[in-house]
Structure 1
Amino acid sequence: MTEEKIDIVVLWVDGSDPEFIREKQAVTGQIAEIDQEIDGEQRYRDYGIFNYWFRMIEKHAPWVNHIYLVTNGQKPEWLNLEHPQLKLVTHKEFIPKEYLPTYNSAAIELNLHRIEGLSENFLYFNDDMYLIRDSQPSDFYKNGQPKLLAVYDALVPWSPFTNTYHNNVELIYRHFPNKKALKSSPWKFFNYRYGSLILKNLLLLPWGPTGYVNQHLPVPMKKSTLAHLWEIEGEILDRTSRNKIRNYGVDVNQYICSLWQIESNQFYPMSKNFGETIGLNQVDKLDKIFEDKHKKLLCVNDDSDLKQENLIHFKEIIQERYPKKSAFEK
């Protein structure tokens, strides 16, 4: 059996670019009050370390078919645009014009299936998510289905973002009201790969709609699933796509694809130790994460109260581990 091609899609933006600031201001200036948590500067910051993302992919995933770098038209000046695996895609090349310009990552994600030439199976990365160990296609897909963490969680309103989780769950449970996948394949939900998280599935067993554990890591997706969700829930996806910046109250996001795979029983269990998410102010944890042979994925999230010395330390750590330029760099 021939291996299915797997692409990577990664989003990148440089929020310090004066032209970007001017264009965004023209759109968001018309919005009366913007919550910094929702649309603060940290949502668009570029730390000058994106080239290391390519070094890690080149070293740890030589099997990848194409890398689709999605931007609003910006290009990192160090990027080698001649690399045969690289496809630079601007928003206007795949997002319907009625949704443009957009500064809403959820709107961009929900239209990824429209990218011309994108493979059916693709890994979706943000630019703060890294591959830190040698990987195989089988780490992400089995028999053409994505490997996911099927663990339920209580929906607790700990931040404005919880509203989007709630909207995602509401959409999914309109189609799967009774945890049918869990009943027909209990081994996928009570799986040793989830470790102690199995307890969550056990405790939430009597309940109907609940939330899901989300690790905020790169995620294996299927183009056909996203296209299908547009067919059956086009109204809500259209509403999200029309929001120029994030609107946690009404938006859904790409998590609906993973949730759909889980509830339609089209997935395989992924180990909870496969990756880890930390904040930039927690860089002291990095050495331990890099040494853990189970962990292949890492997300280093921006912190709104970022201490500059932590960013410098992060750059030193990844420079030490990935000193060699990749072919994606000029």
Structure 2
Amino acid sequence: NPVSEVLPAAARQPAAVAGRRGSVPTFAPFAEPGIDEVRFPVDAVYTWVDGDDPAMAAKRRAHQAHSDNPIAPRETGASRYTSHDELRYALRSLEMYAGFVRHVYLVTDSQLPGWLDPGAAGLTVIDHRDILPGDALPVFNSHAIESRLHHIPGLSEHYLYFNDDVFVNRPVRAEHFFHGNGIARIPLSPLKLGVGAPHPLEPAPNSAGKNAREVIRRFHGRYVTHKSLHTPHPQLLSVMREMESLAIEELERTSYSRFRSITDVAPASTLHHHWAIATGRAVPADYRFRYIQLGTPDMQRRLDRLAAGEEVDFFCLNDVETAPESRAAARTAMRAFLERKFPFPSRFEGAPRSLSRLIGPPAVGLPQQARLEDARRHE
């Protein structure tokens, strides 16, 4: 155990620790908070858009027609905005495996998934208009949205930023993302940003990372080399506010970048992460992770490994530029996998909420976990 090699009789006074289902009996030394235990609130922020909505698609096409953005078509193509109902299963995975999350914020563009209950306990829907300048709208660029997430009212100092295609694969604790003293644990990738200037044909994270590198070099005299994994991103509100207060040109420009551009920075990953590391508020950490790109020849093999119980904490199902002839098959395979992986509706879904309200425990993660354990008992 993490406390002691031996337990003398004098130390065996009974005590209790608060758990998700009530108090848990233990001995007094085991009830004390550890030096690295997270005792502060941690929220989660998801960004989502349904790019197939006719009104949204028409608005996007109208603005693209007047854009001379020199970037690869895959970075602004239809696949980038297509919703495969990933958010439904991403929230199921969060409730199932990340019970420490205090509150969930969903950032959208005047849209809601048809299955979502916007009045669900522990959920707040945030519109782009609530956090972005009016003259920056409409926006179709995740980098621009990320640059303003810290304007969400009520957001905790420590929060996790999720794309809607990122899933929690097994139980994780707040300590996976933050140390007990508040320092963030950063998911750096083994992949490099590369050298040289941003190029239109390279992946957008590379260009955005190179631009962030220049910011870090200018302010902190350090050279950034690594990309970030496509996992939940631990964020510090104070870091984002500090960078905004300095009127960093690249960050301000990104806030007004309607589509992805080679002049963007990556606010929630490369820029935030390396600024936090450079100022002593974060350290690199190991994240067990699996990346799957839809429509590729190895997609099904990777899905099968996850379904068989691959030991990773997170996975991402990313639709970058799926060929039109592969989209239907990829969507069918992905939905079958997710429904098997996360079969129980979360409390954020409208239809089953009457049952979850009757069951009623308020803690994030409990309703679905309880149903999962009940199902296992009856297998």
Alignment TM-score, normalising by the size of structure 2: 0.73
Structure 1 residues 89-168: aligned runs within 5 Å: 89-142=126-179, 143-149=181-187, 153=192, 155-156=194-195, 159-161=202-204, 162-168=206-212
2:305 to 282, 285, 288: 288
CA shift for structure 1 position 176: 2.0
Does the 8 A contact of 1:6 with 1:123 survive in 2?
A: yes
Does the 8 A contact of 2:143 with 2:254 survive in 1?
A: yes
Look up the match of 2:229. Answer: 215
Which letter does structure 2 place at the counterpart of 1:168?
A
Percent identity, aligned pairs only, is 28
Secondary structure at the counterpart of residue 68 of structure 1? strand
Larger Rg: 1 or 2? 2
Deviates more, 1:27-36 or 1:252-261: 27-36
Does the 8 A contact of 2:140 with 2:259 survive in 1?
A: yes
Does the 8 A contact of 1:16 with 1:45 survive in 2?
A: yes
Look up the match of 1:301. Answer: 318
CA shift for structure 1 position 101: 1.5
Which letter does structure 2 place at the counterpart of 1:155?
G
Which letter does structure 2 place at the counterpart of 1:159?
E
Which letter does structure 2 place at the counterpart of 1:7?
D
Does the 8 A contact of 1:121 with 1:220 survive in 2?
A: yes
Q: Deviations over 1:102-123 (max 9, x none)?
A: 1111110000110101111110
1:30 aligned onto 2:54: no
1:278 aligned onto 2:292: yes
Count residues in correspondence.
298
Does the 8 A contact of 1:215 with 1:276 survive in 2?
A: no
CA shift for structure 1 position 310: 2.8
Structure 1 residues 117-266: aligned runs within 5 Å: 117-142=154-179, 143-149=181-187, 153=192, 155-156=194-195, 159-161=202-204, 162-178=206-222, 209-255=223-269, 256-266=271-281
Secondary structure at the counterpart of residue 161 of structure 2? strand
Secondary structure at the counterpart of residue 141 of structure 1? coil
Does the 8 A contact of 1:131 with 1:297 survive in 2?
A: yes
> Structure 1 residues 28 and 213 mapped into 2: Cα distance closer, same or farther (>3 Å)?
closer
Which letter does structure 2 place at the counterpart of 1:225?
V
Q: Which runs of 5+ in 1 are unaligned?
A: 179-208
- C-alpha separation in 2, matches of 1:301 and 1:21: 20
- C-alpha separation in 2, matches of 1:19 and 1:13: 12
- C-alpha separation in 2, matches of 1:55 and 1:148: 24
> Structure 1 residues 33 and 269 mapped into 2: Cα distance closer, same or farther (>3 Å)?
closer
**CA RMSD, aligned part only?**
2.1
- C-alpha separation in 1, matches of 2:81 and 2:138: 15
Does the 8 A contact of 1:150 with 1:262 survive in 2?
A: no
Higher relative contact order, chain-length normalized (CA < 8 Å, sep 6+): 1
- C-alpha separation in 2, matches of 1:257 and 1:210: 12
Deviates more, 1:302-311 or 1:313-322: 302-311
Alignment TM-score, normalising by the size of structure 1: 0.84
Does the 8 A contact of 2:45 with 2:104 survive in 1?
A: yes
> Structure 1 residues 125 and 23 mapped into 2: Cα distance closer, same or farther (>3 Å)?
same
